Structure 1
Amino acid sequence: MKMKKKLYWHKVLDNKDTLKEGRVMTVVAGHKDICLSHFKGKFTALDNKCPHQGGPLGEGSIENGLLRCPWHGWDFCPHGGSSGDYNDGLKTYDVKIENDAIYIGLEEEAPHETTVTDIMVETMVNWGVTSVFGMVGHSNLGLADAIRIQEEKGHLKFIGIRHEGAASFAASAYGKLTGKPAACFAIAGPGSTNLFTGLWDAKVDRSPILALTGQVATQVVGTGNFQEVDLVRAFQTVAEFNQRVEHQSKHTELMALAIKHAILKRDVSHLTFPDQVQVLPAQNEKAQTPEGRIAKLSIAPPEDQLDTAINKIAQAEKPIIIVGHGARFNMKEIIELAEKLNCPVMTTFKGKGQISDSHKLACGVLGRSGTPIASYFMNEADLLIVIGASFSNHTGITQKKPIIQVDFDPLALSKFHKVDVAVFGEISRTIGLIHKTDVEIKANKVNQIESIAKRWKIWRAEKKKRLTEATGHGISSIAVFDTLTRLAPENAIMCVDVGNNAYSFGRYFESKNHNFLMSGYLGSIGFALPAAIGAWAAVGDKRPIIAVAGDGGICQYLAEFTTLVKYNMNIKVIVLNNNELGKITKEQRAGGWDKWATDLVNPSFAKYAQSCGGLGLKVDSEEKLESTIRTLVLHEGPALLEITTDVKLI
């Protein structure tokens, strides 16, 4: 005699009267959806999935005594699950009523069987990818569950965003700040294509990033299935590593190689997961670790290149150092060399803040978003030592001076034009070797410290003059960033958007121990707010985070303010609102065109922030600017400050 298995009873309704006579509803028992019907005084629990296409029967109705599937009208007995003459009836489950509450009896759930996505996500965590930004959806649920398991173990942090573009921007910013990859995560079709802009931002700014996408089941690929996009082909242009995970793949090896490519190439890696592959049993396959898989990258430069560079430095009387974003993790050694040479140090816009503007050798930003201090010393120099910079037009490094270029990317060396000495090597190692040469590189150097201080004095006097300008049409950006210089926490991470707000930020905000995150080469509007989310994932509440955007940029991903509230991110957002795409207007006029289609109609950003559950502030007079910014930075939790600004005072 077969023994009846033990049932575990799950309360699904507190009161049976909730489900009226002649109605059905979906209830949840354990991990199972159940269709609960109430017909002729009897409650019956049935499988919720129609056996034809999986239609949710709890969303159906009882018509003429039969339970009708909401998707295609197939009929079942609401008591026994029979479909009449067809051999495709529904399974039923035991029901009991106690104290008017309804319980459903299920057999003990089988323990979770480890899947290929479980061990792939575990491999991802082992390799140090512990932040994931994305959106859960129908074609990535198996992969999502693997991410959930690791999050519940405390091994990773998942941040659910409102738009997949924000996920990839957040992951890009995370990589720019830390040098390590984070993951962005999306469903098939439009969810995956929404990742594209942020992935390109990461690619062109050399930020390591991992994209994980769901995909429709393999058996329907090529049939024009709902949300079917060939994601491997779609990602070919942006992804350095780009693979579909298949049944017979070496699953953990694919994940290990994806992350290895992202780290070593500082590029985009993409894995796409067909729906049915996500739940395959892992069998004997185990998660991998990075042990023994990545070599040390402290490469020394060739001796002849190093010797030539040292000789050039020794001969120069007024050398300067220009550092770019690529040198952001090597500034200790670079500043030590500058102090030995007593030479000015300036940065590209992407490198802003890598040396504090309060340092005696700092000259601020060079180029279009820069200061006249930096351009003055470049023009006075007899040697440019360019480290980790890309020679973009925005920076405007002159070719008319002798140049030593140091970079760990051989393709970046002499990329746009010939330089006098191209030195290939890991930056800290290379600068350390130059530093060790001691006496010969210090000879004949002009001490420019007093001259640097003089030029700062002249520039600050000029800024004071500009602060007196007013037209009565809003606060000047100069006043905003002068005030922010005084009130922003000295170790804040500053996330910058695109437009006139960014130019003013680069020119007028004086850095201390800040980090700056921006969409550099791609120059994508809307970057600042998602970038702040990526920064928060990296540092949590250990450092303040401030996002600065114009009204055009903030509206790109304005809904992500709800993400700040959901996770209680201590992020401050400053919106410069001038009701115009001011940078575009400026370009139209500079090009001889009429101003056209750049006016904006905006909501009240402050009230919007309040409606989301954060602090919303607004200031439209310079008299209240300082006190309002002070309130903003002292607030604990997500907050937004809307500043009415003059589009012409930048």
Structure 2
Amino acid sequence: MSRNVSEQLLEILIEAGVTQVFGVIGDALNAFAQAIHNHEQVEWIGVRHEGNASYAAFAQAELSGNLAVCAGTVGPGALHLINGLYNAKRERSPVLAITGQVPVSQIGTSFHQEVDLEKIYSDVCDYQAVIRSPEEAPRVILRAIKEALSNRSVSRIELPADIAEMPCAGDDFIHPLIRSLATLVPAEEQMQQLAELIQAHREKRISILAGAGCREARAEVLELAEKLQAPITHSLRACDIFDHDCPHVAGLTGLIGNPSGYHAVMNTDLLMLLGTDFPYTEYLLHDCTVVQIDTHLPRIGNRVGVNLGIHADIKATLTQLLPHVESHGPSEFHDKIVGSFEDWRQEMRQDADPDRDREPLHPQIFAGLINEHASDDAIFVVDTGTITVWAARHISFHSERRMIGSFNHGSMAVGLPAALGAQLLYPEREVWALVGDGAFTMAMQDWITIANRGLPIKMLVLHNSSLDLVKLEMEVAGIVPEKDVLEIDVPDLAEYSRWCGAKGVHVEHAKDIEAAIKAAKAAESPFLIDAVVTNGELSMPPKVKVAQATGMAESKLKQAWMALSGDHEQWNNIKEELAAYFDSSD
């Protein structure tokens, strides 16, 4: 019996190592879904919303480095995939989107549900395989997969409903998937220049700002830092590479950074940017010597002028460089920065002390105790919002721990679906999803999917019925935060979890936090902690700019005046912030 195009597509995906496809079924995908049904090697993971499918695929691609697949049918279903795919694009994760399309004969006629998907997807995709005949299908399908893998990007396959069921052709073009084993090595001339530049700064201050591009070069970066006695500031995505317990680490800089990380970058003579496209130029020093090493040439000099740019792999470059670098002597600059980081960590431990039992609870306590109890190879999916701040400050992503999220795209509601993808990829590992109540309720329909599959995801929801990060953004801009636009009506999420068929616990008292976290860790099925926390906790940057301080002061003065004028909402807001700020363990 002859195969159809959908079956041929599936066989190519199997050869590429695909074992799961996330999506919502629909007419144009029926033939593809039927092909999956007839093959044991691939599982269709049906979700309640296509946006969750693309986030789940992102998680698998980001964690494994291999191709992950999501699918949506014609028009509306395909459009729902977009946000998660943008997240994959920004995080540079290899994801393939399979979208249905109306029959070829109807394209361009404003047919029911017809959308010009090629135009819509032109920005998010590096390549689009728009199939117009069975004969071309295998060639463009293979190219879409190779583009996604080689560029760590998003590709799309458009499968019209009629072609999906046609007998396949072009089998002679099908070949084993070619994966690059090449390494981009630097020129010897540039290595000599770099070694001389480092030698010229032997008696000066040297700092390293490291990003996710250092994931395979952790040992080499640490050896370089040891030789140069250079503190390591890192990007958010590199939290699980250069963790809190790692030698020479100064922490984060930027909007959610800490003082030691900020000063390491802003008070140096030689700044080495390694595998990072750190976007916040106001947190980069522009009047020092800058070296940047990256595998993506357009990123070099993208954020700050560089004195020496090297287009090469970080591990290959440092392996070549290290024999030519002499060990520098003790550095007062290094020791002061690293010591400051340790002092800051001690402050964070105090902030996360369960004895700070004022209610509503401090969110830091939950993050601190999860840090204590999570396994050494746990996967943390961190959503967008103030939860990102508490995770970065109170969790050390040491050992084999991983942290993923929407760190470049900055989208809410990545946590729940990405946890779904992560747990299905690594069923034997702990997966902790750390989310706010706004993010959870945006994606909560697929907690049913997680419950139905019995996946042991540990879900922490910070429940304060408010969009906290937006509140802070408004205050910094000098705007008075108004309850009617920031408040969200959130039900008892523990009860919702139990309604879905999972476990759930509502936590309002500090004495109950650790027991809830231990119960979540031990659970063999989904477990949700509905953590009732204050919305008065401020997450301030390591260095408050004049404009930020002015905006905050203006907003607070307006709030105070409104409170004195009888606005109970603003008075309650001020009281909550003051209580959270002055509360301490003693």
Whether TM exceeds 0.5 here: the answer is: yes
SS at match of 2:375: coil
The 5 Å alignment of 1:145-544 reads 145-150=34-39, 152=40, 154=41, 156-283=42-169, 285=171, 288-291=174-177, 293-317=178-202, 318-393=205-280, 396-437=283-324, 440-444=325-329, 446=331, 451=336, 454-467=339-352, 472-513=358-399, 514-541=401-428, 543-544=429-430
Q: Is the 8 A contact 1:297 1:426 kept in 2?
A: no
The answer for the alignment partner of 1:637 in structure 2 is 525
What is the rounded CA distance, in whole Å, between the counterparts of 1:602 and 1:197 in structure 2? Answer: 24
What is the rounded CA distance, in whole Å, between the counterparts of 1:383 and 1:449 in structure 2? Answer: 13
The answer for the alignment partner of 2:574 in structure 1 is none
- CA-CA distance at 1:257 after TM superposition: 0.3
Q: Aligned partner of 1:484: which letter? A: I
- CA-CA distance at 1:444 after TM superposition: 4.5
SS at match of 1:419: coil
Distance change in 2, residues 1:479/1:290 (3 Å):
same
- CA-CA distance at 1:452 after TM superposition: 5.6
Distance change in 2, residues 1:149/1:328 (3 Å):
farther
The answer for the alignment partner of 1:137 in structure 2 is 26
The answer for the alignment partner of 2:537 in structure 1 is 649
Larger proportion of helix = 2
Larger proportion of strand = 1
What is the rounded CA distance, in whole Å, between the counterparts of 1:446 and 1:535 in structure 2? Answer: 42
Q: Does 1:125 align with 2:14?
A: yes
- CA-CA distance at 1:631 after TM superposition: 1.2
- CA-CA distance at 1:126 after TM superposition: 1.4
SS at match of 1:329: helix
Distance change in 2, residues 1:192/1:561 (3 Å):
same
Percent identity among equivalent residues?
26
What is the rounded CA distance, in whole Å, between the counterparts of 1:171 and 1:332 in structure 2? Answer: 29
- CA-CA distance at 1:287 after TM superposition: 7.5
SS at match of 1:270: strand
Distance change in 2, residues 1:567/1:465 (3 Å):
closer
The 5 Å alignment of 1:71-90 reads none
Q: Does 1:608 align with 2:459?
A: no
Q: Aligned partner of 2:244: which letter? A: D
What is the rounded CA distance, in whole Å, between the counterparts of 2:393 and 2:154 in structure 1? Answer: 31
What is the rounded CA distance, in whole Å, between the counterparts of 1:351 and 1:453 in structure 2? Answer: 18
What is the rounded CA distance, in whole Å, between the counterparts of 2:430 and 2:357 in structure 1? Answer: 33
Q: Aligned partner of 1:446: which letter? A: S
What is the rounded CA distance, in whole Å, between the counterparts of 2:496 and 2:23 in structure 1? Answer: 23
User: What count of residue pairs does the alignment treat as equivalent?
Assistant: 532
Distance change in 2, residues 1:482/1:517 (3 Å):
same
- Give deviations 1:595-637, integer Å, cap 9, x for gaps: 2300111011111111111111121111211121111112112
SS at match of 1:565: helix
SS at match of 1:442: coil
CA radius of gyration, larger in? 1
Q: Is the 8 A contact 1:383 1:403 kept in 2?
A: yes
Q: Aligned partner of 2:526: which letter? A: P
- CA-CA distance at 1:146 after TM superposition: 2.3
What is the rounded CA distance, in whole Å, between the counterparts of 2:329 and 2:307 in structure 1? Answer: 21
- TM norm structure 2: 0.86
Q: Aligned partner of 1:608: which letter? A: Y
Q: Is the 8 A contact 1:210 1:262 kept in 2?
A: yes
Q: Is the 8 A contact 2:251 2:341 kept in 1?
A: no
- CA-CA distance at 1:141 after TM superposition: 0.7
Question: Larger deviation: 503-512 or 567-576?
Answer: 503-512
The answer for the alignment partner of 2:560 in structure 1 is none
| Structure with larger RCO (C-alpha < 8 A, sep 6+) | 2
Distance change in 2, residues 1:447/1:586 (3 Å):
closer
- CA-CA distance at 1:414 after TM superposition: 0.7
- CA-CA distance at 1:272 after TM superposition: 0.7
What is the rounded CA distance, in whole Å, between the counterparts of 1:324 and 1:131 in structure 2? Answer: 30
- CA-CA distance at 1:515 after TM superposition: 1.0
What is the rounded CA distance, in whole Å, between the counterparts of 1:549 and 1:131 in structure 2? Answer: 25
Distance change in 2, residues 1:222/1:170 (3 Å):
same
Q: Is the 8 A contact 1:322 1:346 kept in 2?
A: yes
Q: Aligned partner of 1:201: which letter? A: N
Q: Is the 8 A contact 1:402 1:419 kept in 2?
A: yes
The answer for the alignment partner of 1:39 in structure 2 is none
What is the rounded CA distance, in whole Å, between the counterparts of 1:297 and 1:157 in structure 2? Answer: 32
Q: Is the 8 A contact 2:436 2:461 kept in 1?
A: yes
Question: Larger deviation: 160-169 or 455-464?
Answer: 455-464
Q: Is the 8 A contact 1:570 1:637 kept in 2?
A: yes
- CA-CA distance at 1:470 after TM superposition: 6.2
- CA-CA distance at 1:259 after TM superposition: 0.9
The answer for the alignment partner of 1:7 in structure 2 is none
- CA-CA distance at 1:207 after TM superposition: 1.7
What is the rounded CA distance, in whole Å, between the counterparts of 2:513 and 2:303 in structure 1? Answer: 44
